[in-house]
């Protein structure tokens, strides 16, 4: 599930803000990213952006698993 992927791959950076990652649940940190649309957020998560590696560094994840994790993260941050 998206929560499982988030918990195992995404949470360490998105709960602490490591390397500038927007913190889960901090709506103000997500507003400019949300304005870019989900397609951009999915692409950034799948392909990497800045210091965030593609698929959060776990290349065995499918694109669908990454999208599910992004959806979970966004649900927790809206």
The HSE-up count of residue 33 (CA atoms within 13 Å, CB side) is 20
The HSE-up count of residue 68 (CA atoms within 13 Å, CB side) is 13
**Residues 5-47: pLDDT tens digits?**
999 999 999 999 999 999 999 999 999 999 999 999 999 999 9
Q: Is the pLDDT of residue 78 over 90?
A: no
Distance CA 63, CA 43 (A): 9
Structure tokens at 6: 């988030």
């Amino acid at each position: 599930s998206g929560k499982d992927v988030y918990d195992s791959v995404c949470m360490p950076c998105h709960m602490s803000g490591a390397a500038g990652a927007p913190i889960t649940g901090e709506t103000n940190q997500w507003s400019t990213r949300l304005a870019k649309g989900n397609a951009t957020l999915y692409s950034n998560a799948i392909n990497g952006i800045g210091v965030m590696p593609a698929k959060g560094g776990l290349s065995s994840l499918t694109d669908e698993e990454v999208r599910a994790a992004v959806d979970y993260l966004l649900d927790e941050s809206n």
